[in-house]
Amino acid sequence: MLRLAVCGCNGRMGKALVNAIQENAHVVLSGVTIAPGSTLADQSLADIATDDLEKIIDKVDVVIDFTTPQASLKHVEICHRYGKKIVIGTTGITSDEKKIIEKASKDIAIVLAPNTGIGINICLQLLPQVAKMIGLDADITIIEAHHRNKVDAPSGTALKMGEEIAQGLPPHHKDIAYSSIRAGDIVGEHTALFAIQGERIEITHRATDRSIFAHGAIRAAQWLASKTSGLYGMREVLAL
């Protein structure tokens, strides 16, 4: 049985991950972390909860982390030291922070994914193809919407969409525009809009339940179990 730990179990994604793992017959929840000084929201987890991942790292096979860039880097360092695998769904990670993760991945297996949903990763596969066919003629805007408490904007998924589109564009295409909405309890909506003369193409993904990200992260953890090192994304996990 694959033993998983969830970092940040008090957060929106942390709670979704805990529920999804407990409902999955093929994995077991062996540990959870909370931020230092925080109160555990779900007291049923008290026996496996800690404010320091290092205290439970020996009890787990794969760590799943949807926290903050600073916390994620600390958790990567602990996993690296103990030879554990980690799935990182944290967004807002800078290029310099990614280099630290890349360095650790030479020794441990890591999945780094701004969005672990299956549907959005299928959409990401389509974007370079559309961009290549449209060429220089399109005005391209990525529109994303999330709940009011999401800090980073544009979202990590929106930036990933931009990267994928850029791969299909010819040289010297004008910049891709981004528009971010933070309102209510929106789980996540992303649209890539390609506007040309007289028509437009829109590729949209809407997440209506946070559990899709949790199930995707568990799938990534299960896939990662057979890897010894390397940095991967959901493209590899889903064999796209």
Half-sphere exposure of 212 (CA within 13 A, CB side): 13
Can you say how many angstroms the Cα of residue 147 is from the centroid of all Cα atoms in its chain?
16
How big is the CA angle at 76 (ends 229 and 97), to the nearest 5 degrees? 100
Comparing CA positions, the residue from 230, 237, 233 lying closest to residue 107 is 230
Q: What is the DSSP letter of 229?
A: S
80 tagged catalytic: no
Q: Is residue 157 within 8 Å of 114, Cβ to Cβ? A: yes
75 tagged catalytic: no
Which is the catalytic residue, given 74, 98, 147, 150? Answer: 150
The whole-angstrom separation of Cα 199 and Cα 156 is 28
Q: Which residues contact 96 (CB under 8 A, 6 or more apart)?
A: none
Q: How far is CA 150 from CA 184, 188, 211, in A?
A: 10, 10, 17
Q: Is the dihedral of CA 166, 190, 220, 101 positive or negative?
A: positive
**Single-letter amino acid, residue 72:** S
The whole-angstrom separation of Cα 228 and Cα 9 is 26
Residue pointed to by tokens 């949903």:
117
Residue pointed to by tokens 């994928």:
164
Which is the catalytic residue, given 15, 80, 84, 146? Answer: 146
Active site residue ranges: 146, 150
